[in-house]
Amino acid sequence: MPETKTRREETTRPESPEDRAPDAQASEAQGEPDREAQTAEKPKLSDEERLQGLEPDKLRRIAYDMLLARRFEEKAAEAYALGKIGGFCHLYIGQEAVATGAIHALRPDDYVMTAYREHAHALQCGIEPNAVMAELYGRADGCSKGKGGSMHMFSAEKNYLGGHGIVGGQIPLALGVAWKIKYRGEDRVMQVYCGEAAVNQGAFHESLNMAALWKVPLILIVENNRFGMGTAWERASSLYDIYRKAGAYAMPSAVADGMDVLDMYRVTREAVERARAGEGPTLIEARTYRFVGHSMSDPVSGVYRTKEDVEKEKANDPIRIYADLLARVGILSQEELEKMDEEVKALSEASADFAEKSPEPGPDELYTEIYAEENVAGRLYFDGRR
Amino acid sequence: MAVVTYREALNQALAEEMERDPDVFLMGEEVGVYNGAYKVSKGLLDRFGELRVVDTPITELGFAGLGVGAAMTGVRPVIEFMTWNFAILAFDQIFNSAAKMRSMSGGQFKMPITFRGPTGAALQLAAQHSQALESQVAHYPGVKVVVPGTPADAKGLLKAAIRDDDPVCVFEGEMLYNMKGEVSEDAELVIPLGVADLKREGSDVSIITHGKMIHVALQAAAQLEKDGVSAEVLDLRSLRPLDTDAILNTVAKTNRVVLLEEGWPYGGITATIAAMIQEEAFDELDAPILRVTQADVPMPYAKGLEKIAKPSAELVIEKVNRVLYR
């Protein structure tokens, strides 16, 4: 497998053919088409066109990354059931194409930030599976030293800016990072994710307005998995089409098929190129679906969706769709896929062993890293324990 | 030393720090073209340009969060709230993001951001525009809180806040902007956070307070002196970190304490200090600790009601007499 750092693009890809341009004007569409009608707007492309001239190594790497996210989380779910992982734990199973495709369109020096359904994003940015699993276990070798957990993974080195737990709260933060890029005149972009339910928060609208007003290099990807916890999107928004909300801020937007990793890559690339060219932010609505409950404490189906609903969507498994394509074009055979699967399973297994052996943070860690400097004038803590 | 207003002192601090460090920028409502709602940023747009003095839409949550994200990746934002009352809209970003980023990332991200704006009641601005919120903000581990009460402290503490690698919330006195005082012209004169200042020495009783209330305390102390009572006035200047040594020293000196704050009593900083004193210096006390705060009600508009709702020198004198058993 290629090195971790190649998970993000190192070089500029050739121009896309015009007919593949995302629907930047889609926000001007009339009426309120339903979900199926909108997703069907995805351009009808041949296999060849879908591959966008990407190198076979990169295409295989994308398969590997999606597969790793899936197997890693299956292992995490197992560990959670055994009580080895605590707290809230939100799995990404079913949505892997979104972050995998979108982060592959970035360079290593670009920034990524998301909400709390973040294990795949953290892995995709190059944090080692061992460090992600150790964080889930709350251990000292975790990527946040065991202080963040499932919802607060970070890596300054990989430009992965977390893991945020308040719905929509990360969007203004990402706006600030994009603003910093502009302030310093850097050649970078900020890619931030939120769920569709976050779109109803004021933070989303305030940020879109300023991002468009100041033309900062922000790419906001809304992962529309159709449920804010147990509330169907149709029951939470007066307008189904999230990408159209960008129109209120004169911001370009597009819909991407969040079950198709190459469509995610294609649409994100367009937005990244626009941002790098100084043309400002883009809103991308990624239509996806989670095959698992909202968190580990939520059953896969029940009060808000039926077992049949979920089974029907599983026919669109993003890994299956992609593997079939690669097999068809002769880039990844069934045997190679199985070998790859064994490899990521072993890696996930090893990460759990690593986490198991990693020490818990010691009691002396309780008061570290809260302030920059502990030896200051005056008292910082008032619990009488120090 | 030159005599300048509290407003000019803050302006000098901003200008000097922006001059010193190109990563420092000022952002908020009306800070640029309008020169600041309270004219604190007067002239800064002309001097530093619109990349570094940024007028925002009215969107407190959004631009506070913008500052936090920018600070996380290496620059040093100064975020101005037109008043701290409006910052309540931004508390999610101050408490959930700025205060916790370093800790929940295992120390990977520093947070060199300053949030500033006026606090407390002015005159007849009614319930939503008259709140002293510094105690509430100081409640959150991860943030620092300073409340300057004089022009010199305003300049020195704001400079310290901007240079600090933690989120510092600066609570300016809305009624103090016109106050004049001697201020050093030394651009390197920084007042460290967490160091209290004895604004008046005394031997009979300690009045411990901060911000605008130091002037109420000094007024009460002057009145008490005529009555033969020697009151010490300790200005905390910083609520977190808190100069507990200075507090314990004055308690040991006078053995009697009146705590004064502009905000409400419930969960106020005075409650924290009273608890701390009885835990750590109970034997030094010759009387129970008493407090003077705002009446525990939303601020009324009517002039007479507002007057009696606010802490006053009369109320302080009354409490001092009680701790002296006079």
Calculate mean pLDDT across residues A292-319. 93
Q: What is the pLDDT of residue A5?
A: 45
Q: Which of B16, B17, B29, B60 is catalytic?
A: B60
Q: What is the pLDDT of residue A43?
A: 78
Q: Report how many Cβ contacts below 8 Å link chain A to chain B.
A: 175
Q: Verify whether the Cβ–Cβ distance A377 to B61 is below 8 Å.
A: no
Q: Are A172 and B64 in contact (CB under 8 A)?
A: yes
Q: Verify whether the Cβ–Cβ distance B244 to A174 is below 8 Å.
A: no
Q: What is the pLDDT of residue A7?
A: 58
Q: Is the pLDDT of residue B96 over 90?
A: yes
Q: What is the pLDDT of residue A44?
A: 85
Strands (DSSP E) contained in chain B are 2-5, 24-28, 53-55, 76-80, 114-119, 144-146, 168-173, 180-183, 197-200, 205-209, 231-235, 238-240, 257-260, 290-292
Q: What is the pLDDT of residue A35?
A: 53
Which one has a higher pLDDT value, B41 or A27?
B41
How close does chain A come to B112, measured CA to CA in Å?
9
Cα separation, B182 vs B8, in Å, equals 11
Tell me the backbone φ, ψ of residue A15, rounded to 5 degrees.
-55, 140
For residue range A299-309, what is the model confidence (pLDDT) as tens digits? 999 899 999 99
Q: What is the pLDDT of residue A8?
A: 64
Q: Is the pLDDT of residue A31 over 80?
A: no
Q: Which of B30, B129, B139, B314 is catalytic?
A: B129
Q: What is the pLDDT of residue A12?
A: 40
Length in residues, chain A:
386
CB within 8 Å of chain B, chain A residues 185-214: 202-203, 206-207, 209-210, 213
Calculate mean pLDDT across residues A288-303. 92
Q: What's the angle, vertex CA B279, arms to CA B275 and CA B285, rounded to 5? A: 90
* pLDDT-based confidence at residue A276 (cuts at 50, 70, 90): very high
* pLDDT-based confidence at residue B168 (cuts at 50, 70, 90): very high
Q: Judge whether A177 is closer than 8 Å to chain B, CB to CB.
A: yes
High-pLDDT (> 90) share of chain B, %:
98
Q: What is the pLDDT of residue B44?
A: 98
pTM for the model: 0.94
How close does chain B come to A306, measured CA to CA in Å?
35
User: Which residues in chain A have Cβ-Cβ distances shorter than 8 Å to B141?
Assistant: 370, 380-381
Calculate mean pLDDT across residues A9-38. 43
- Top CATH class, B2-183: alpha beta
Q: What is the pLDDT of residue A41?
A: 64
Q: Could you say which of B61, B108, B141 has the minimum Cβ distance to residue A370?
A: B141
Q: Are strands A227-228 and A231-232 parallel, antiparallel or unpaired?
A: antiparallel
For residue range B202-218, what is the model confidence (pLDDT) as tens digits? 999 999 999 999 999 99
Q: Which of A30-34, A215-219, A380-384, B260-264 has the lowest mean pLDDT?
A: A30-34
* pLDDT-based confidence at residue A4 (cuts at 50, 70, 90): very low
Calculate mean pLDDT across residues B182-207. 96
Calculate mean pLDDT across residues B67-78. 98
Tell me the HSE value of B146 on the side-chain side, using a 13 A CA sphere. 30
Q: Are A104 and A69 in contact (CB under 8 A)?
A: no
Q: Is the pLDDT of residue A34 over 90?
A: no
Q: Could you say which of B62, B109, B242 has the minimum Cβ distance to residue A207?
A: B62
Calculate mean pLDDT across residues B161-168. 98
From the list B79, B102, B123, the residue with the least C-alpha distance to B310 is B123
CB within 8 Å of chain A, chain B residues 172-201: 192-196
Q: Could you say which of B62, B108, B240 has the minimum Cβ distance to residue A203?
A: B62
- Asked whether the bond before B241 is cis by omega within 30 degrees of 0, the reply is yes
End-to-end CA separation in angstroms for chain B:
42
* pLDDT-based confidence at residue B179 (cuts at 50, 70, 90): very high
Q: Verify whether the Cβ–Cβ distance B107 to A152 is below 8 Å.
A: no
High-pLDDT (> 90) share of chain A, %:
86
Q: Judge whether A163 is closer than 8 Å to chain B, CB to CB.
A: yes
For residue range B1-39, what is the model confidence (pLDDT) as tens digits? 899 999 999 999 999 999 999 999 999 999 999 999 999
* pLDDT-based confidence at residue B128 (cuts at 50, 70, 90): very high
Q: Judge whether A367 is closer than 8 Å to chain B, CB to CB.
A: no
Calculate mean pLDDT across residues B45-63. 98
Q: What is the pLDDT of residue B1?
A: 85
Cβ contacts of A136 within 8 Å, gap of 6 or more: A76, A79, A85, A89, A119, A142, A149, A150, A355
Cα separation, A354 vs A139, in Å, equals 10
For residue range B239-266, what is the model confidence (pLDDT) as tens digits? 999 999 999 999 999 999 999 999 999 9
Q: Is the pLDDT of residue A2 over 50?
A: no
CB within 8 Å of chain B, chain A residues 299-318: none
CB within 8 Å of chain A, chain B residues 222-281: 238, 240-245, 272, 276, 279
Cβ contacts of B323 within 8 Å, gap of 6 or more: B205, B256, B257, B258, B287, B288, B289, B290
Cβ contacts of A137 within 8 Å, gap of 6 or more: A79, A84, A85, A146, A355, A356, A358
Tell me the backbone φ, ψ of residue A139, rounded to 5 degrees.
-110, 165
The residue ranges of every structural domain in chain B are 2-183, 197-323
Tell me the backbone φ, ψ of residue A370, rounded to 5 degrees.
-95, -40
Neighbours of B22 (CB within 10 A): 13
Partners of B91 in beta bridges: none
Domains of chain A in start order, with CATH, are 4-9+56-360 (3.40.50.970)
Q: Are B151 and B180 in contact (CB under 8 A)?
A: yes
* pLDDT-based confidence at residue A20 (cuts at 50, 70, 90): very low
Q: Is the pLDDT of residue A334 over 60?
A: yes
From the list A57, A169, A181, the residue with the least C-alpha distance to A113 is A169
Calculate mean pLDDT across residues B301-306. 98
Letter for the amino acid at A307?
Answer: K
CB within 8 Å of chain A, chain B residues 109-128: 109-110
Q: Could you say which of A175, A371, A378 has the minimum Cβ distance to residue B69?
A: A175
For residue range A101-154, what is the model confidence (pLDDT) as tens digits? 999 999 999 999 999 999 999 999 999 999 999 999 999 999 999 999 999 999
User: Which residues in chain A have Cβ-Cβ distances shorter than 8 Å to B65?
Assistant: 169, 171-173, 175-176, 203, 207
Which one has a higher pLDDT value, B63 or A19?
B63
Say whether B197-323 and B2-183 share the same fold.
yes
Q: Is the pLDDT of residue A90 over 60?
A: yes
Q: Are A215 and A278 in contact (CB under 8 A)?
A: yes
Q: Is the pLDDT of residue A9 over 70?
A: no
From the list B181, B138, B155, the residue with the least C-alpha distance to B16 is B155
Q: Verify whether the Cβ–Cβ distance B93 to A382 is below 8 Å.
A: no
Partners of B3 in beta bridges: B182
Q: Judge whether A249 is closer than 8 Å to chain B, CB to CB.
A: no
* CA distance readout (Å), B96 to A281, B71, B102: 25, 15, 11
* pLDDT-based confidence at residue B198 (cuts at 50, 70, 90): very high
Q: What's the CATH number for B197-323? A: 3.40.50.920
Q: What is the pLDDT of residue A6?
A: 45
Calculate mean pLDDT across residues B56-81. 98
Cα separation, A353 vs A151, in Å, equals 21
Q: Is B129 a catalytic residue?
A: yes
Q: Is the pLDDT of residue B280 over 80?
A: yes
Q: Are A323 and A337 in contact (CB under 8 A)?
A: yes
Q: Is B215 a catalytic residue?
A: no
The mean pLDDT value of chain A amounts to: 91
Q: Is A361 helix (H, G, I), strand (E, B) or coil?
A: coil
